A and B are shown apart, each in its own frame.
Chain A
Amino acid sequence: MLEFCILNAIRGTSLYGYDIVRTLRGIEGLVISEGTIYPILSRLKREGFVKTTIRESSEGPARKYYELTKDGEEMLDEMNSYWQVIKDGTDSIIKEHKK
Chain B
Amino acid sequence: MKELSISARECLNAYLQKVRARLRWANSLDADEIERDICEHIERDLDSADEPVEYETVAEVLDRLGSPEQWVPDGEISWWRKVLMRISSGPDDWRLAYISFGLFVLAFFQLRIGMFIFIPLSFIVARGALSMTDDLDQLKGRKVLLYPVLILIYAILGLFLLAGPAFGLVGLADGFEREIIKNYDDIKESLDYWWWTWVIILFVLGIWWIILSGISIAFDKFFKFIFKPFLDKVNKKKLALTAIVAGWLLILVAIGLGWIFGASDGPANLFKQFGLM
Contacts and interface: CB of A to CB of B under 8 A. Distances in A.
A41 B70 contact: no
A49 B44 CA distance: 26
Interface stretch (B30-38, B96-104, B129-137): B30-38
Interface string A31-48: 011111011011101100
Nearest to B22: A39
3 nearest A-B pairs in the assembled complex, by CB-CB distance: A33-B66, A35-B65, A38-B37
A17 B41 contact: yes
Size band of the interface chain B makes with A? 20 to 34
A21 B72 CA distance: 18
A36 to B, nearest CB: 5
Interface of A: 17-18, 21, 32-36, 38-39, 41-43, 45-46, 60, 63-64
Contacts of A33: 64-67, 70-71
B79 to A, nearest CB: 20
Contact of B29 (A34, A35, A46): A46
17 contacts: A21-B41, A33-B65, A33-B66, A33-B67, A33-B70, A34-B41, A34-B65, A35-B65, A38-B41, A39-B29, A39-B34, A41-B37, A42-B30, A42-B33, A42-B34, A46-B28, A46-B29
A64 B41 contact: no
B38 A38 contact: yes
B63 to A, nearest CB: 9
Contacts of A36: 66, 70-71
Contacts of A35: 19, 38, 41, 65-66, 68, 70-71
B34 A34 contact: no
B23 A39 contact: yes
A10 B81 CA distance: 34
Nearest to B68: A35
Interface in B220-272: none
A89 B159 CA distance: 69
B40 interface: yes
A38 B28 CA distance: 13
Given A38-B37, A42-B30, A46-B29, 14 more contacts: A17-B37, A33-B64, A33-B71, A35-B38, A35-B41, A35-B65, A38-B34, A38-B38, A39-B23, A39-B72, A42-B29, A42-B33, A43-B29, A60-B43
